[in-house]
Amino acid sequence: MTKQQRKILIKIIIGAVLFAVGMVVTHLLTLPWWAELLIFLAVYLVPGFSVLEKAVRNIAHGQVFDENFLMTIASIAAFAIGQYPEAVEVILFYQVGELFEKIAVGRSRQAVSDLLDLCPDEATVLRDGKPETVLVDEVEVGEHILVRPGEKIPLDAAVFEGHTTIDTAALTGESMPVSAAEGDAVCSGCVNLSGAVELVVTKPASESTASKIMELVEESASSKAKTEQFITKFARYYTPCVVIAALILAVVPPLIAGQPFSGWIYRALTFLIISCPCALVISVPLGFFGGIGAASKIGVLVKGSNFLEAVAEMTTIVFDKTGTLTKGEFKVTEMKPAGGVSEDKLLEVAALGESYSNHPIAGSIIEAYGKEIERSRVSDAVEIAGHGVQILVDGVMTYVGNEKLMKKQSITYEPCESAGTVVYVGQEQTFLGALVISDTVKQGAAEAIHKMKNVGVKKCVMLTGDREKTAKHVADELKLDEVHAELLPGDKVDEVEKLLSAQKDGERLAFVGDGINDAPVLTRADIGIAMGSLGSDAAIEAADVVLMDDDIRKIASTVLISRKTLRIVKQNIVFALAVKAVVLLLGAIGVANMWEAVFADVGVSVLAILNSMRVMKNH
């Protein structure tokens, strides 16, 4: 619980205990009216002072008719007509409802502060040939920096000397590392995997790719308006109406009938107390709270009632690819040996050829080979930057790499058009074949898309930084409606903006992602859904809904829970308003007294709470 939530809870507990003590004391002892007033007034101020303060502050700012004003008027009216316990009950009920609402909605996002870890604060600058550690803000464009293996690249730069492998997952969300040689541009936030490199800085820290991502998160978070709570909207119209009705009830009848004002003023104050919307104040947030609890039972964290309501209206869902629809684990998925070469021979030569490399692609080939590498069979390994590996296998010169390597060695090869990363293998001038390394679709991903269509989601879209061919292959396998490939984080935000602008009123768009690079899109979408098990902390904090076990099949279940929640909340609202209208009418004509009104209000609250608990069933 937050500090504010704990304060409200403490006020409620202290207020409830003091109220019980006050009731016992006034029941056992015969006290003068002023003594009872002082006792219950002191009890009232514990939970009620903050409400009085808000009402006065809002009135000073021109916002008169809100729920704080109504609670203040109702409780003061109760004191005025001698119903001191009722005044305390009214404010205690209100504070309980406030606490539930704050617990459900009050989780603040720390996306921006988490993203500060995307880039280091310091860089190793080479000045006069010596490495010097300085703050990134102090590094000038054109200066040379040194980045060792395992370190994050602090600034946007170009490789000046050396070659290495770069993990770009923080920016593109794609797990497949890329090679970087002299002259190649590298982005801040990426991780240097293999060799130490000297870089020349191309952009200042304020304009780096990592800084732009953080700005996107800030802008996206500020542009998303929160759903205004029902009670506040309702109170804008309800409160002025009941206050005006109470004034009319106090003044007009005695003037027309020539009766004493005292009886009608008492009736008007009773009318005001009856009008206190305690049942609504409690049942509406509790209904949503029950829905949030039902979602948590299946391992889905919904960060507030407004997001649960938005999920019920979701018509478009946008997915990141790697780690969301696919496993993010690269495997040898296809072998295409040349004529006269067996698959076993192709895989063996490729595994031996990659045995000295620590590249993830090499790891996937060695894993597929599944046997212990005989180091005595290989020698003279040379890594050719941006091409692949040249190595002696059983005394025969062997080449394992991309198309550029085959062309460089004048090996006639058969181009492979399969989706994924293609590794070609050749010995001397003979082409042995190709291996396809690709990410595999997550188990249950196709079922998840099918379920979403069944619950009424109209459009399923995939955005990815991966190649067009690979992306289309995954989209076809999962039967997605749209796919957009080769995107950077800013491009993903642009695509989401286009989809948002195409939506009709009452339709919502959700984005599902798992990486730091997804944080700007998660905050811009109507509903951001993050992976809790494998996802980054920044993505989880930026999201509105978190799948704690990364099972996207549960999104459809969450849609069903949210719709059931909305139905129950609407039932509570209609029931509470109907009973309130009847009791108000009875109070206006003098049939209902104070305690009958209290009983009706509390009874409606209990029934509404019991109805809200139905959300928790059957999930």
* Residues labelled as active-site residues: 320
For strands 197-201 and 144-147, give the pairing: antiparallel
Residue reference for tokens 């997001």? 307
Q: Kindly state the helix (H) or strand (E) to which residue 145 belongs, with its residue range.
A: strand 144-147
Q: At what angle do helices 261-274 and 230-257 cross, to 10 degrees?
A: 170
SS3 for 320-364 is ECECCCEEEEEEEEEEEECCCCCHHHHHHHHHHHCCCCCCHHHHH
Q: How many CB atoms lie within 10 A of CB 121?
A: 11
Residue pair 171/213 in contact (Cβ under 8 Å)? The answer is yes
**CA 475 from centroid of its chain's CA atoms:** 24
Q: Within its chain, how far is the Cα of 336 from the centroid?
A: 42
Instruction: Residue 388: name the closest of 357, 351, 429 by CA.
Output: 357
Distances (CA, A) of 548 to 37, 155, 234, 293, 297: 52, 33, 35, 14, 11
Q: In the numeric block, which tokens belong to residue 21? A: 């003590």
Strands 527-531 and 545-547: parallel
Q: How many CB atoms lie within 10 A of CB 241?
A: 11
CB atoms within 10 A of CB 232: 11
**Dist CA 111 CA 97 (whole Å):** 28
Neighbours of 237 (CB within 10 A): 10
